[in-house]
Amino acid sequence: MSSLQDQLLKAGLVDNKKAKQISKDKRKQQKVAKKSAQPVVDETKAAAQQARAEKAARDRALNAERDAAAQKKAIAAQIKQMVQTNRQPKGNGEIAYNFTFDKKIKTIYVTEAVRDHLVAGRLVIVGLDEQFELVPRVIADKIAERNPDAVVQPAATSTAVDEDDPYADYQIPDDLMW
Least confident of 25-29, 55-59, 155-159: 155-159
Question: Average pLDDT in the 19-48 region?
Answer: 78
Pair 83, 133: CB distance under 8 Å = yes
Tell me if the pTM is above 0.75. no
Q: Which stretch, 48-57, 92-101, 156-165, has highest mean pLDDT?
A: 48-57
Please give the pLDDT value at position 64: 95
Q: What are phi and psi of 147, to 5 degrees?
A: -150, 95
Least confident of 11-15, 116-120, 137-141, 174-178: 174-178
More confident residue, 88 or 12: 88
| Mean pLDDT, rounded, of the chain | 83
Report CA-CA distances (Å) from 102 to 9, 85, 153. 102, 24, 11
